[in-house]
A = this chain, B = another copy of it.
Amino acid sequence: MERIPILKMGPFLLVTIQIDLYDRLALTLENDLINMVSQTGARGVLIDISTVSIVDSFMGRILGNIASMSRIMDAETVVVGMQPAVAITLVELGLTLQGVYTALNVEKGMELLNTKLGDNLELDDDEEEDQDDRND
């Protein structure tokens, strides 16, 4: 079982990290996730780390990488369920997870993504309207 499952839930992908992310597994996850975003056209990625109690700079970098890659593929990343101790450790390590959204749990993470998606759709509409104006 050397693979982290990626679950499709509507327009979002959900990943729960339960095991220590060593190099190869992390690379496989990045790869699988980007492929899934591409295949499904997902607009958001939720990463649940509620059972992760130990975090290091490697884990921080992987989360950052996933967020950057997803953004290029037009999907936002939300890390959910972070334990308080993990947040403390991340800040003490000087990792502020830039570019990664966070939420308390999966439900709140989905709300956040829905809001962002809604905002983007509205923006798209506005842009179209602007274009219409220009066309007139």
Chain A interface (Cβ < 8 Å from any Cβ of B): 1, 3-5, 7-10, 14, 16, 18-20, 48, 50-54, 81, 105-107, 110
Q: Within the complex, what minimum Cβ distance (angstroms) separates A93 from chain B?
A: 19
Taken together as a complex, chains A and B put the C-alpha atoms of A106 and B9 apart, in Å, by 7
Which residues of the partner chain B approach A5 to less than 8 Å between Cβ atoms?
16, 18, 48, 50-51, 81
The majority secondary structure among interface residues of chain A is loop
Known contacts A16-B16, A18-B18, A107-B10; decide if A4 and B48 are in contact (CB<8 Å): no
Interface pair B1/A53, CB less than 8 Å apart? yes
Q: Name, among A9, A16, A20, A53, the residue most crowded by chain B CB atoms within 10 Å (CB to CB).
A: A16
Q: Name, among A4, A14, A54, the residue most crowded by chain B CB atoms within 10 Å (CB to CB).
A: A14
Pairs A–B under 8 Å by Cβ, sample size 6: A1-B18, A1-B53, A7-B106, A18-B18, A18-B19, A19-B19
